[in-house]
Structure formats: structure tokens, C-alpha cells
Amino acid sequence: MRLGVDVGGTNTDAVILDEKDDVVSWTKTPTTDDVTEGIKKAMKSVVSEVEKDRITHVMVGTTHCTNAIAERKNLAETAVLRIGAPATLAIKPLFEWPEDLRKAIGNHTIIVEGGHEFDGEEIKNLDEEAIRTFLTELKDEIESVSITSVFSPVNPEHEERAQEIAREILKDSPISVSNEIGSIGLLERENATALNAALVPVIERTSKSITDAINDLGLNAGIYFCQNDGTLMDLDYARNYPVLTLASGPSNSIKGAAFLSEIKDGIVVDVGGTTTDIGALKNGFPRESSSAVEIGGIKTNFRMPDLISVAIGGGSIVKKDGKIRVGPESVGKDLPNKSLSFNGTTFTATDAAVRLGLADIGEKSPDISEEDAKEALSKAEEEIQEGVEKMKTERSKVPVALVGGGSILVRHVEEASTVDKPEHYEVANAVGAAISQVSGEVDKVFSLENKTREEVIEEAEERAIDKAKKAGADPKTIETVNLEEIPLAYLPGNAVRIKLKVAGNLKIK
């Protein structure tokens, strides 16, 4: 059996799936201020209903890292090293970061000579002495190091040498190198790598607390964290790449919706307590964003799901001042205390659904007219419908999977060819965590001057497979799930950008 847990802004969901992928136990509990306590409570609830000796895997989608960035708390003092002078001096490292976030990680930056061209040719020799001096001066202040070099996804030689120097000086301090995290663009890749370095102590504490919780429950199970592409990574891999846990919640919902509805290509509408996340399914996986994604006000370019978030959820506050307005304010996890259906004083979207008989929770409020309830839900549906239209890539209607506890608000979706609200829709995100595979991905520019197309694809596939195996995949089950070839006509040397992704089942230890 597998135990899947996913933390949302309003609820923490947990499910247990048996060997046939059937849900045998599930729960929704309010997300606590201390995220770990909510996870413990949810796990304890579902474990109590099964034979715990049969649970072999625990998959966790957590917001610990997301919260640390949003709150600017518990982040590591980080040295941010860029290799790229004299070519990259115009914009300094962390230039676009919010001031308070720069301060939270120490704002220790330097640009040294080195780096490579797109074809792997060296721009300038690596200035090893500058790196030694920078890190030696900071070694008593910093907890983590971020290393980024120009075109390191093409040639990581200078990053690897800088990593060796950092290891000599800083011994056991965590070191993040950008060629393992982001794609081609320098600044966004640097941002993602710096975030990863800053988040290492957060994931260390998180993994320890979750491990302790699992031990306290008496479980003998492997622990995996959910990634933001809808796949898994084992504990050791997560400790090295905590930034990959960001946005894992929406990815879990999309993956879970695909599994429960059996829709492989279409749109997923996940209505939560505070927001509605709308994403796209491509071959059963979340479609990745093709543009830079902002995290905590910072642009990054590592893999992230293509999402639209609408400020509509079960806890959205309904206001009537001549006309009905829904959101963006929400009571969130305080819904059971503040909404009219539970003897509170706040008119919420859930109250409208209860008034119309769409939800069997609480009590119908006499203070809400049927007309106001209908108008409130119509307003909510309009905003969600607009999000669906933006997410579509074709004119024709598409299949829609409707999931999430707040999906009681949605009566129909105009642009849908079919709307599937599957069994266990309330905990699709936790189901997504429990059924996920393990992936590996490569995003690299190759020159076809001295290699054939088949040779570069084979090289990319080997690298992706190696990443998947390190993350915990069974080598016998790994297969390519996505391949993109993008000719780069503006670069010399017959260049092509290869984006290749593989996925496989968890390796049973």
C-alpha cells in the first residue's frame, strides 16, 4: 500500500491506495500553521483504518519550501557565485530579487571570469583564485553555496571545478550547481539555483520531522517527496534539490485528476478553499510552462506546471453592494468557523452551494436568498470559465476533469466537451502524490556539426535516465514520455535545443 499526502492552503489531504490502485482510506484535515502537525494528523487518521505493516511507501507533497520563501524564514545564508565575466557584468546576481529576500539569504554575491559559449567553447579561463578568496572570506558566515556559469547546461566544466574548490574550503556545506537545476537562460537559472541553495536547511528539517512522524506511527516505509512536474524523488534526492518541491500541490492535483478520470489530454480544474488552479494534461502529465515562472517575486526557468490560478474557492467571501461579487478575499481554512452554514457571520461561496442543495454540509442559511446564491455561483463559474479558455490551445471543446473539495461550486463548464467529476475528487491531489512515477529531464543545446540528430537524442536520453535512476526510478520501467527539438537558427553551428523527459515506476527496495 502507498500513503499519499498533499498540503493545500486550506486542507491537508491524505489517502491510502492498495496494490490495485484503489483508494481504501482517505481524509481531509484543516492545514495547520505548523504544516508538519497537519501532515501528522492526516497520516494518523488514514493509517488507523488499515494494516500499517502493509504500507510500503509514503509520498508527500509539501508547502514547507514555498512557505519559507513567502515568509522569508529559515532560509540559509547563501554565497551566490556567477562564472561569466567579462560577458555578464551588466546585471548583478539577485538584481531582481525583492530586497527583503536578498537580506534573508545574506546578499553575498560575486562574478568571476570564466564560462562557455553555447557550443561549449571557453569564454575565458576560470578565475580559481577569485573563487577561493570569496569563499574563504565568507566561510564562517554562509551555510550554503550557489554556483552558476554561462551555458553550463552545454558545458558544466567550470561549475564542476568551482564546486570542487568550494568543497575544499567549506567541507560539508551544501553546494548547488545550476546545470543540474535550470535550463538555458542565465539569470532565471541563477535565481532557481540560489533558491535551491537557500532552501536546503528547510528541506533538511522537513525531511527529519516527516521521518520522525512516520517512525512514531510505526511505519516501515520508503519516503518520497513530490516534484513540481507531477513525479517523485526519494529523500536523498530531495535534500539536494528542494526547489523541485515548489508547486508540487497543483501538479499532484493534475496527475491525480488524470488518474481518477482517465483523461490523458485535457484540462483540469481544481477548486480548493481559497483558489482554483487550472492546468493542462499532456500525455497524462502536467503541461510545463514555456515562460519564466515567478516564485516569491523571482523569475525562474526550471520546470514548472503551466497554471492559471483564479481567486475563487469554497471559502471565497461573497459581497452584495448593489450587485454580487465573489472573492478575491477568502476565509480559507476558517470556513467551518466563519461561514453562515456553520453559524458564522460571513457569506461564502460554499454557503451559496449549500443554499441551492449542491452540498450536504452545515445548514442552509435563511439570510441567503435563492437568487443571490445562484448569482454568486454564476459569478464564480464565469471566472473559472475564463481561466479554462485561457488554458486551452485549440478552438474545439476539450475534456475537463473537475476535482477539489470546492468543486461543489461548479455546475457546468461551457468550453468542455465532457466534464468528469470522478470518485474521490475531493482528494485528487493526495491520490496524485500516491500514484506518481519518478522522472528525469534534460534541457540542453547541442551542436549538430559533429554529431547526428540520433546521437544527440541518445545522449540526452542517457542523461535523463541517469537522473531518474538517482531520483529513485526502477531502470527496467523507464521510458521517454516527452521529446521536444527546437532548432536555434540564430546560433552558428547547426544548433538544436533538446528537451527530453523520461519517467518510470518507483524502485521497490
* pLDDT (0 to 100) of residue 492: 62
Query: Pairing relation of β-strands 479-487 and 11-17?
Result: unpaired
Query: Pairing relation of β-strands 11-17 and 2-7?
Result: antiparallel
Q: Indicate the pLDDT class of residue 93, thresholds 50, 70 and 90.
A: very high
Q: Is it the case that residue 83 has pLDDT exceeding 90?
A: yes
Instruction: Quote the Cα angle for 186-191-194, to 5°.
Output: 120
* pLDDT (0 to 100) of residue 493: 66
Q: Which residues pair with 300 in a beta bridge?
A: 293
Tens-digit pLDDT profile for residues 393-441: 888 888 999 998 888 888 888 878 888 888 888 888 899 888 888 888 8
List all residues 6 or more positions away from 82 whose beta carbon is below 8 Å from its beta carbon: 88, 93, 109, 110, 111, 112, 148, 149, 190
Radius of gyration of the chain (CA): 24
Q: Is it the case that residue 194 has pLDDT exceeding 90?
A: yes
Residue 196 backbone zone (phi > 0: left; psi -120 to 50: alpha; other: beta): alpha
452-474 burial string, b = 16+ CB within 10 Å, else e? eeeebbebbbebbbebbbebbbe
Q: Could you give the CA distance from residue 410 to residue 300 in angstroms, rounded to a whole number?
A: 33
Q: With H, G, I as helix, E, B as strand and everything else as coil, classify residue 48.
A: coil
Domain ranges of the chain: 437-504
Helix axes 64-71, 35-47, angle to 10 degrees: 160
* pLDDT (0 to 100) of residue 491: 62
Closest Cα partner for 436 from 59, 62, 64? 59
Q: Which residues pair with 6 in a beta bridge?
A: 13, 61
Q: Is it the case that residue 221 has pLDDT exceeding 70?
A: yes
Q: With H, G, I as helix, E, B as strand and everything else as coil, classify residue 214.
A: helix
Tens-digit pLDDT profile for residues 15-40: 999 888 888 999 988 877 787 888 88
